[in-house]
Every structure is written in structure tokens, then in C-alpha cells.
């Protein structure tokens, strides 16, 4: 009896190593491009140390936003890596969902540059937040599809579903709350709160409720 013929799409997107490889490459490029938003101060050749120091201080807001974006991408890199590490296989649908996530990652240098240029404007902050929403949404969609398609380690699905959904949905809720504050307060309040949220995920202190995710 002849076996069932496979389609091309049954073979596409199944290589986990290539998926991890392109992910690391895109993250590396995106995180490197962030620093290009920091311009060397332009001062005259006759300037003093004090002049240079003042010019560097004026870069403070851009440096803060650069650090914020670096942490943003770092958090997503760790999150995606955690998801990929629990896979036992992949398919073309999962691969394209991950490529959608990586598309959001490639937008980070642009959204960072806009916010760094116009840090006091609400539109710039919302545009930056929408980039985070897109990345988080695609990462969650990848996890949900992987759970339904049984791409993860057998027996881990209930726990992974709780952990993946909890981490992404709580983080996105905190980012949304922080961004919404710009409707009442100056945008720097929102930016500061976003940085604090990120520090929670980077440092992982044992804050009740949050540390479980």
C-alpha cells in the first residue's frame, strides 16, 4: 500500500534551527540599530569640557529611550527564546506567525527614533506602544497556535498555556496602563512607568502575583 503523498507545505517551516537563527539575527541587528539614534553632540572646536558636558546632558532623554527600547527587545528576545525552547517541532503556520513577530521587532528602531525625536508628543508615545502591542500580540498568537497544534512538549501544554498567557497579557496590560496615563499626565510619566515595568521583568524581583509569571 502506497503512503499518502505529502505536500510542499507539509515540509515548509519545520526547521527549528533556521527559525532560531533568523530570530537571533534580526534581534541582533535591531538592538544594534537602536544606538544609531544617539547622535554625537555637535559643538565647536573651541568648546570647553563644560560645553561638551552640557551637550551630553541634553542627550539624556534620548539615552533613556534607547535604554527602554533595548530592554523592550531584550524582554521579547528572552520571551521568544523561552517559547522556542519548548517546541518539539514546527510547521509553516507557526513559522509565519514567528515571522510576523519578527516584523514587529524590525520596527523597533523606527518607533524608538520617533519617540526619541518627539518624547513630549502623545502620538509618538502611542506609536511606540502600538509597536509593543504588535510584538506581544504576534508572540501570543504563536504560542496559542503552537498549543492548539501540539507543537510543544507533550504534557506541558496546560502549564505553558498559563505561563505564556499570563506573562504576555499582564505585561501588555501594564504597558497599556502606562501609556494611557499620557492622556492625563505628561508623556514622561508614561515613559518612566514603562521603564519601571521593564525593570520588573529584567530584574525579576519576587513581587507577589507578578513573579509567578
pTM for this model (two decimals): 0.87
Q: Would you tell me how many other CB atoms lie within 10 Å of the CB of residue 15?
A: 12
> Distances in Å between the alpha carbon of 151 and those of 3, 15, 142?
23, 13, 10
Beta pairing partners, 87: 152
- pLDDT by residue for the chain (213 residues), tens digit each? 456 676 756 665 567 888 899 999 999 999 999 988 877 777 777 778 787 788 778 878 888 999 999 999 999 999 999 999 998 988 989 999 999 999 999 999 999 999 999 999 999 999 999 999 999 999 999 999 999 999 988 778 888 888 889 999 999 999 999 999 999 999 999 999 999 999 999 987 666 655 555
The angle at the Cα of 26, spanning 173 to 169, to the nearest 5 degrees, equals 15
Q: Exposure of 92 by Cβ count < 10 A (0-12 exposed, 13-18 middle, 19+ buried)? A: middle
Amino acid at each position: 500500500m502506497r503512503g499518502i503523498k505529502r505536500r510542499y507545505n507539509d515540509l515548509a517551516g519545520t526547521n527549528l534551527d533556521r527559525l532560531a537563527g533568523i530570530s537571533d539575527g534580526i534581534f541582533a541587528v535591531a538592538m544594534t540599530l537602536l544606538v544609531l539614534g544617539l547622535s554625537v553632540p555637535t559643538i565647536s572646536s573651541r568648546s570647553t569640557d563644560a560645553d561638551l558636558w552640557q551637550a551630553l546632558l541634553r542627550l539624556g532623554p534620548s539615552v533613556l529611550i534607547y535604554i527602554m527600547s533595548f530592554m523592550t527587545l531584550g524582554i521579547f528576545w528572552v520571551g521568544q527564546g523561552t517559547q522556542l525552547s519548548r517546541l518539539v517541532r514546527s510547521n509553516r503556520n507557526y513559522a509565519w506567525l514567528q515571522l510576523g513577530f519578527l516584523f514587529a521587532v524590525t520596527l523597533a528602531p523606527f518607533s524608538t527614533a520617533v519617540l526619541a525625536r518627539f518624547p513630549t508628543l502623545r502620538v509618538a508615545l502611542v506609536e511606540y506602544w502600538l509597536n509593543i502591542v504588535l510584538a506581544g500580540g504576534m508572540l501570543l498568537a504563536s504560542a496559542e497556535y503552537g498549543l492548539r497544534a501540539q507543537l510543544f512538549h507533550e504534557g506541558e501544554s496546560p502549564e505553558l498555556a498559563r505561563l505564556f498567557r499570563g506573562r504576555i497579557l499582564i505585561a501588555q496590560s501594564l504597558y497599556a496602563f502606562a501609556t494611557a496615563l499620557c492622556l492625563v499626565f505628561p508623556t514622561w510619566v508614561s515613559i518612566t512607568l514603562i521603564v519601571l515595568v521593564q525593570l520588573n521583568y529584567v530584574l525579576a524581583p519576587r513581587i507577589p502575583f507578578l513573579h509567578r509569571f
